[in-house]
């Protein structure tokens, strides 16, 4: 006997939702947001991918936390709370360091780097450093940073390992 999920009605939908299942059209990929990952450089070895190897330059110190968030390059996701695909948490190294960010598939992405210099896990505009893929200018309005559009920060990641350099800037 074959059953169509539509025959389950509202109660069936509620059971599926509570169970954590999501029904999507055939061929659709599940969208997962806010995944926390570690810096696994083996995912950026030759022949691996898709992944983005990011060299982060300009780190002022080794104190605090470093957050590297990867977004789909769409204005509906870019820099929106919990709309990042992954957040890599790492200990910063003064000067430069390299991280590896696996991505779900080849496509268009944007990356934001934040150096939480005092380690309080909050954004402190007066001390924290920031940088973005393609190194666009981060403007200011009344002393508050104004991020660039996703069009300026977006880049194409291929099926292998894509290399990027991001420079972190700090308030004057």
Helix H or strand E encompassing 56 = strand 51-59
3 within domain boundaries:
no
Q: Which residues contact 21 (CB under 8 A, 6 or more apart)?
A: none
Helix H or strand E encompassing 155 = strand 155-157
What confidence category does residue 13 fall into, taking pLDDT thresholds of 50, 70 and 90? very low
Separation CA 166–CA 162 (nearest Å): 13
4 within domain boundaries:
no
22 within domain boundaries:
no
Quick: pLDDT tens for 52-88. Answer: 999 999 999 999 999 999 999 999 999 999 999 999 9
What is the β-pairing status of strands 129-132 and 35-37?
Answer: unpaired
85 within domain boundaries:
yes
CB count within 10 Å of CB 162 equals 20
Separation CA 71–CA 2 (nearest Å): 40
157 within domain boundaries:
yes
- Kindly tell me if the per-residue pLDDT of 93 is higher than 50: yes
110 vs 125, more confident: 110
109 within domain boundaries:
yes
Separation CA 156–CA 159 (nearest Å): 10
Peptide bond into 50 cis (omega under 30): yes
16 within domain boundaries:
no
27 within domain boundaries:
no
Our count of domains for the chain comes to 1
Q: Range of 157's domain?
A: 32-167
Q: What is the pTM of this model?
A: 0.81
């Amino acid at each position: 006997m074959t059953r169509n999920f539509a025959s389950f009605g509202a109660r069936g939908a509620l059971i599926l939702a509570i169970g954590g299942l999501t029904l999507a059209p055939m061929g659709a990929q599940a969208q997962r947001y806010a995944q926390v990952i570690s810096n696994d450089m083996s995912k950026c070895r030759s022949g691996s991918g898709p992944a983005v190897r990011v060299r982060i330059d300009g780190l002022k110190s080794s104190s605090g936390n470093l957050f590297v968030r990867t977004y789909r390059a769409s204005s509906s996701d870019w820099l929106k709370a919990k709309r990042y695909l992954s957040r890599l948490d790492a200990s910063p190294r003064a000067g430069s360091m390299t991280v590896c960010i696996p991505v779900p598939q080849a496509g268009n992405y944007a990356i934001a780097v934040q150096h939480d210099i005092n380690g309080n896990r909050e954004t402190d505009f007066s001390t924290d450093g920031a940088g973005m893929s393609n190194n666009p200018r981060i403007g200011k309005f009344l002393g508050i940073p104004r991020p660039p559009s996703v069009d300026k920060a977006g880049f194409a990641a291929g099926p292998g390992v894509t290399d990027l350099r991001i420079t972190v800037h700090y308030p004057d």
